[in-house]
Amino acid sequence: MLTCPRCGSQNPDYYTQCPNCGTQLSAARAQTAAPPSGYSSAPMYTAEEPVTSVGQWFLWSLLIGFLPLIGTIIMFCTVKDPSAKNAAKVFLIMQIVAIVFYIIAFAVGMMSSIANM
Q: Over the stretch 32-85, which tens digit does the pLDDT of each residue have?
A: 555 556 655 555 555 566 677 877 877 877 777 777 788 888 888 888 888 888
The pLDDT, as a whole number, for residue 42 is 59
**What pTM did the predictor assign?**
0.45
Domain locations along the chain: 1-32, 68-115
What is the average pLDDT value for the chain, to the nearest integer?
77
Contact indicator for 4, 16 with CB cutoff of 8 Å: no
- pLDDT above 70 (res 107): yes
Mutual angle of helices 54-66 and 82-115, in 10-degree steps: 20
| Residue 36: exposure state from Cβ atoms within 10 A (0-12, 13-18, ≥19) | exposed
Region of 50 please: left (phi>0), alpha (psi -120 to 50) or beta. beta
Mutual angle of helices 68-78 and 54-66, in 10-degree steps: 140
The pLDDT, as a whole number, for residue 109 is 81
What percent of the chain has pLDDT above 70? 79
Q: How many CB atoms lie within 10 A of CB 72?
A: 23
